[in-house]
A and B are shown apart, each in its own frame.
Chain A
Amino acid sequence: MSTKPQIVAGFMPLLDSALLVAAKEKGFAEAEGLDLVLVRETSWANIRDRMAVGHFQVAHVLAPMPIASNLGLTPLAVPTIAPIALGLGGNAVTVSNELWARMVEHGAAADFDPDRAGRALKEVVAARAARSDPPLRFAVVHPYSGHNYELRYWLAACGIDPARAVDIVIVPPPLMPDALASGAIDGYCVGEPWNTAAALLGRGHIATVKAAIWRSSPEKVLSAAAKWAQDNPKALASLLRALCRSAQWCAQPANREELARILADKTCIARPAEWMLRGLSGELDTGGGDRRHVEDFFVPFAKAATFPWKSHALWFYSQMVRWGQVQHTAENATIARETYRPDLYRAALKPLGTALPVANAKVEGALRLATPVGSAGASLTLGPDGFFDGGLFDPDQLDAYIASQKP
């Protein structure tokens, strides 16, 4: 009889479930004395519901979801914490072949440059408005998602009002390429492998990537039911260590082929390993027949990629306010800040001797170059972490940042 503590984790079949999946499949959880059980889900709503009824103790979730839950914005909300991030980056914006052709006429090129692509898109949007054509429709995976916020940030910074000049709808990730091909949507922002899928199947063209809109930016976190975490601190700490070791393993280029096969399995994403390799290596097919390397496309471990920065939580919060999802109050800001738990991360990972940031928050967008920073354990390099429009987010100046945002 096994006396190992059992942890049941929900996950969505996406490339960035890699850290959780490899923690199980490569034995990192077992080595920490855990019986980790993974359950694949079909919607973020299911993950939320099954966390609420106690089927799952932890889950692979969109980084803003635990914040939205603690702010009471979603149904069946239970107190939730985010004690570790599951990597940086990994998303892209893909547009239909038809829209890409229009964008190319206005100067877009297959270089994933968000500024150039955005300026072209703005021209297309203006031309459509002049002809009284219906607005372009973009899809994201969830209202409280990095995808929604980075798409809106990009559009707004390029002079396209995301609330009025385009429609933004919700589509489940695996259905995005078909929705694009059928003309139901004109573009989408989603994680891998669903951009690569459209590019390789000839259904769309990758216009830009999250790593270019905001380099080294947060995407998924592990959420844990606050009560379970409080009652089981040892099991949680063991899981954080297992995930950190898994992240290290996932980051090794030599392990990419094996990781791609694990993720491609029918019990996981159930799509060709070839599709996984693109995102894991950052060698993305544009959809136009060529392939380009994207620096830091998906970062599982380096640059403190699993550290739950409070500045990430607060940036997501600032975007919730920006797009009218929540009212800005000091109390709400505190709820957002306290959702992310770098204290638990640090306490759990200290024995591993890996690099631990000494700060809980940083000025986002401040690093133009890879920069050594203060750390405990091994030395740590962060950045570059710039926003494509040169924006800076100083979490100590939250009120001013929110006031300066155009809705």
Chain B
Amino acid sequence: MPARPTTLSILVIDENRLRASVIEAGLREAGHDNLTIIHDVTGIARRIAEVEPDVIIISLENPNRDMLENMFQLSRAVQRPIAMFVDRSDQAEIEAAVEAGVSAYVVDGLKRERVKPILDMAISRFNAFSRMARELQDARSELENRKLIDRAKGILMATRGLSEADAYGLLRKTAMNQNRKIHEIAESLITASGLLAPPEDE
């Protein structure tokens, strides 16, 4: 009976812990259990010697790629030369990876069919993470906008004696008349009142 191919040893290097856990979850779901995640490259030569990775996945944000590549070329810790990606003629895969912000190193001689699903998974998880980060950023600015509007309402209520609903109505009307966003009007109002009024404690 032919022996089943042993599971590949995968090393993920990512300083971003949240993204690392997103990638880890994806790889585990796909049945890759021989997985090592590291966040800090200190002492990485020793870790690589212990883990003997077949595939290394690293973010393009990591400034240590030059150090790692040099180590792969020189170090005895890495037993076989490690080449970038499966096959450098696979331009589409390389492009997708670079677009997603991820790079991979693969032990020479590994079959393309074994590595491609891992790379695909890393790429899709990197993309998913970027989407998530964007959404988070949007949510954060949404919250900030709401705070600006609340402050502007407070100013109008205090200076013009308006009710909260009327203050909001005035902001909304001004925004519509000037074809701008409410939070922009609120921001101008806060700036203007800061300029005109005596300094208050912030």
- The answer to whether A and B come from one shared complex is yes
* Chain A contact residues, CB within 8 Å of chain B: 42-46, 49-50, 52-53, 55, 75-76, 141-143, 169-172, 174-175
Question: Which chain B residue shows the least CB distance to A41?
Answer: B60
B104 shortest CB reach to chain A, Å: 11
Mark interface residues in B33-68 (1 if CB within 8 Å of A CB, else 0).
Answer: 000000000000000000000000000111111110
How many Å lie between the Cα of A8 and that of B8 in the bound state? 38
Pick the residue among B60, B73, B85, B103 that contacts A143 (CB under 8 A).
B73
How many Å lie between the Cα of A42 and that of B66 in the bound state? 10
How many Å lie between the Cα of A45 and that of B95 in the bound state? 14
Q: Which residues of A have CB within 8 Å of B94?
A: 49, 52-53, 76
**What number of A-B contacts does a CB cutoff of 8 Å give?**
57
Q: Which residues of A have CB within 8 Å of B175?
A: none
Evaluate contact between A172 and B67: CB separation under 8 angstroms.
yes
Evaluate contact between A43 and B98: CB separation under 8 angstroms.
no
Not counting A49-B60, A49-B98, a sample of 9 additional A-B residue pairs whose C-beta atoms are within 8 angstroms of each other reads: A42-B62, A42-B65, A46-B60, A49-B103, A76-B88, A76-B94, A172-B64, A172-B66, A175-B63
Pick the residue among B63, B67, B84 that contacts A76 (CB under 8 A).
B84
Number of B interface residues in the complex (CB < 8 A): 21
Of listed A75, A171, A175, residue having the most chain B CB within 10 A: A75
Evaluate contact between A42 and B63: CB separation under 8 angstroms.
yes
Evaluate contact between A172 and B63: CB separation under 8 angstroms.
yes
B177 within 8 A of A: no
Evaluate contact between A141 and B98: CB separation under 8 angstroms.
no
How many Å lie between the Cα of A190 and that of B190 in the bound state? 47
Q: Which residues of A have CB within 8 Å of B60?
A: 42-43, 46, 49
How many Å lie between the Cα of A45 and that of B59 in the bound state? 12
B55 shortest CB reach to chain A, Å: 15
Evaluate contact between B95 and A53: CB separation under 8 angstroms.
yes
B69 within 8 A of A: yes
A295 shortest CB reach to chain B, Å: 31
B68 shortest CB reach to chain A, Å: 8
Q: Which residues of B have CB within 8 Å of A50?
A: 98
Evaluate contact between A142 and B66: CB separation under 8 angstroms.
yes
Known: A45-B103, A53-B95. A174 touches B66 (CB 8 A): no
Question: Which chain B residue shows the least CB distance to A172?
Answer: B63
How many Å lie between the Cα of A141 and that of B69 in the bound state? 12
Evaluate contact between A55 and B65: CB separation under 8 angstroms.
no
8 contacts between A and B (CB under 8 A): A42-B60, A42-B62, A44-B66, A46-B60, A53-B91, A75-B83, A170-B67, A172-B67
Q: Which residues of B have CB within 8 Å of A175?
A: 63
Question: Which chain B residue shows the least CB distance to A174?
Answer: B63
B179 within 8 A of A: no
How many Å lie between the Cα of A260 and that of B85 in the bound state? 40
Evaluate contact between A45 and B88: CB separation under 8 angstroms.
no
B70 within 8 A of A: yes
How many Å lie between the Cα of A63 and that of B178 in the bound state? 54
Question: Which chain A residue shows the least CB distance to B103?
Answer: A49
Evaluate contact between A46 and B67: CB separation under 8 angstroms.
no
How many Å lie between the Cα of A44 and that of B63 in the bound state? 9
